[in-house]
Amino acid sequence: MNPKGYLAVVLHAHLPFVRHPEHERFLEEDWFFEAMTETYLPLLNVFEGLVRDGVPFCINMSLTPTLLSMMTDPLLQSRYLRYLDERIEALAGERRRTDGDSYFHPVIEFYNNLYQGLRRRYLELDQKDVTTSFRRLMESGHLDILTCGATHSYFPLLAVNEESIYAQLSMAVRTHQRILGRKPRGIWLSECGYKPGIDRILNHFGIEYFILDSHGLLNAEPRPKFGVHCPVRTPGGPAAFGRDYESSKQVWAAEEGYPGDPAYREFYRDAGFDIHEPHIRQLHHAGIPTFTGLKYHRITGKSDWKEPYHPGWAADRAATHAGHFMHNRQLQIEWLAPFFDRPAIIVAPYDAELFGHWWFEGPQWIDYLLRKIAYDQNEIKTIRLSEYLDRVSELQPVSPPECSWGAGGFHEVWLNGANDWIYPYLHGSAERMRSLVQRFPDADGLLRWALDQAVRELLLAQSSDWAFIMKTGTSVEYAIRRFKTHLHRFGRMASMAETGNFDENYLREITARDSLFPDMDYRIFQNRPWA
C-alpha cells in the first residue's frame, strides 16, 4: 500500500576536532567521549536492533568530517576505552556504596549494565571504529549519511573568499569517500547557513541536496507551491528541503517539548558534583569536579528537589511520546494530501546529540517511533532524502534567500560583538592562502608539507564552533585559544613557504597534533573543482 506521505528524520552529528596528544588528559576531549557513550553508540544499538528484528525503516544522518576523523583516530579510540573503564571502576565503588539502598542501587545497576554493554560492543562489534557500523547501515539502505563542510565552517560568512568554500567542500567529499567508501549525495550546511551562489559550488562537487530552515524555503522567490513539504530546485542545481517547524518544536521546545517530562533523566544532577567518595573523585579533572555521565535523578519538577531515576518509567513515557509524535505526523499528512499532486514529505532535522546526551531517552524514543510507524499505521513511511529525490524528480525552481537556523534566522549567532573580531583574520588568511596556491602550483618536499599543513590549520580556524562558543559563553577561553592557535600555526606555515626557511621539528610537531585529513592537497584552496 502506497503511503500518503513520508517522514524524513535527519540527525546532524557533529563535534569540533578536539585532540590533544600533548596532554595525558584533556577536559574538552570528554565532549567526544560523552557523545560516543550517550548518543552515537546508543543510536547504533537502536538501528541495528531494528535491522535484526526486520523492521522496515529509513533514517538520515550527517557525520561531519571532523567527527569521522575523531572516530577513526587511534589515540582517541584508546582514550575512549580508558574513559569507559574508569566509569566502570567508579560504578563498582558506587555499587558497594549503595548496597541495600532500594532507591538508588537499581539506578547504579542500570548504569553498570549500560557501560559494560557499551564497552563490549565497542571492542567486539565496532573494533573501536564505529564508522564501520554506520557504513554497514548505509550500505544496507537503512541510512543516508550526509556530509558537511570539512570543519563545520559557516559558509555565508566565509563566502567573501570562494576558495574557502571550495576547500571546505573538497576535503569534506574526500574524507567522506575515504572513510565511508562512497561520495555523499547530500550535505548538511553548517547551521543550515545558506547564501545564494553556494548552491552553484555544491553542484561542482556532485552534491544533490541540502536542508534549509523553514523560512529559507518559505521566503524563496517565487514562493514554493508546496511550502516546506516538498523540495525545490535551486538555481545552482541541487535540491533544497525545508525543515518542518511543527515536528521540530515538539522535540526541541524546552517547556512543551518531550525532553522536559518529569519522568526523564535530569541532565544537571551528576555524581561528579553530588558524590564525594574517592572512586568518584578519580573522575575529576585536575581535582576539579566535572560531569561524569552518572546521573541518578529524574527531572521530577521545576524545583531543586529531584527523585531517583526509574529507567522503566522513562521508557514507558518515551513510548507514549513516540505514539503522540507519530499521530501528529499522520494528521499533518492527512491535511496536506488533498492539496498535493505527489506525496508530501515532513523533514524533521535535529542535532543528533539531543538524543541521548541532552535527552537521555531520545534513542529509545526513536526506536519506538520507527517501530510504530512500521507496524501501527499506513499513512506515512520513513524515507531517505535521496530516495525521495529519486521518486519525485520534477521540482519547482526557486531562489532561496540568505538564511540559517540560528536564533533570528540570519547570521547574528556567528557575527556579533562577542565574535566579530575573528572574521578579518579569517578573510585575510584565506587571501594569503589563495596567493600561495597561485605562487606554488606544484610544490613538493618541505614546501608541500608546509602548504598542506597551512590549509589544515586554516580549515580548523574556520570552524563555526569557535564563534558559536564565544557567543553562548560556555567554554569561551578554550574557543578563543583554539582559534588563535590555529591562526598562529597557519601564519608560521605560510611564512615558511614564503621565505623558504623551514623548521622541520615544528612541522613534525604540529602535523602530529593536528593530524586530520591525511589526504590533504593544498591545491584544494582555489575557486575551481580540484580532482
Question: pLDDT 10s digit of each residue in the chain, 531 long?
Answer: 789 999 999 999 999 999 999 999 999 999 999 999 999 999 999 999 999 999 999 999 999 999 999 999 999 999 999 999 999 999 999 999 999 999 999 999 999 999 999 999 999 999 999 999 999 999 999 999 999 999 999 999 999 999 999 999 999 999 999 999 999 999 999 999 999 999 999 999 999 999 999 999 999 999 999 999 999 999 999 999 999 999 988 897 767 789 999 999 999 999 999 999 999 999 998 888 999 999 999 999 999 999 999 999 999 999 999 999 999 999 999 999 999 999 999 999 999 999 999 999 999 999 999 999 999 999 999 999 999 999 997 999 999 999 999 888 899 999 999 999 999 999 999 999 999 999 999 999 999 999 999 999 999 999 999 999 999 988 999 999 999 999 999 999 999 999 999 999 999 999 999 999 999 999 999 876 544
State the number of CA atoms in the 13 A half-sphere of 169 facing the CB.
30
Grid cell for residue 161: 573568499
Q: Which of 161, 196, 150 is nearest to 465 (CA)?
A: 150
Place of cell 566535572: 290
Place of cell 561524569: 292
Distance from C-alpha of 215 to C-alpha of 404, rounded to nearest angstrom: 9
Question: Torsion angle of alpha carbons 409, 327, 351, 161, nearest 10°?
Answer: -40
Whether the full predicted model's pTM is greater than 0.85, yes or no, is: yes
pLDDT digits (tens, 9 = 90+) for 380-408: 999 999 999 999 979 999 999 999 998 88
Q: Cβ neighbours of residue 369 under 8 Å, at least 6 residues apart?
A: 9, 322, 325, 326
| SS3 of 98-109 | CCCCCCCHHHHH
User: What are the Cα distances from residue 347, in Å, to 212, 233, 314, 336, 409?
Assistant: 10, 16, 26, 14, 18
- DSSP 8-state secondary structure symbol assigned to residue 231: -
Q: What is the pLDDT of residue 531?
A: 41
Alpha helix (H) residue ranges in 125-161: 131-139
Place of cell 528524520: 9
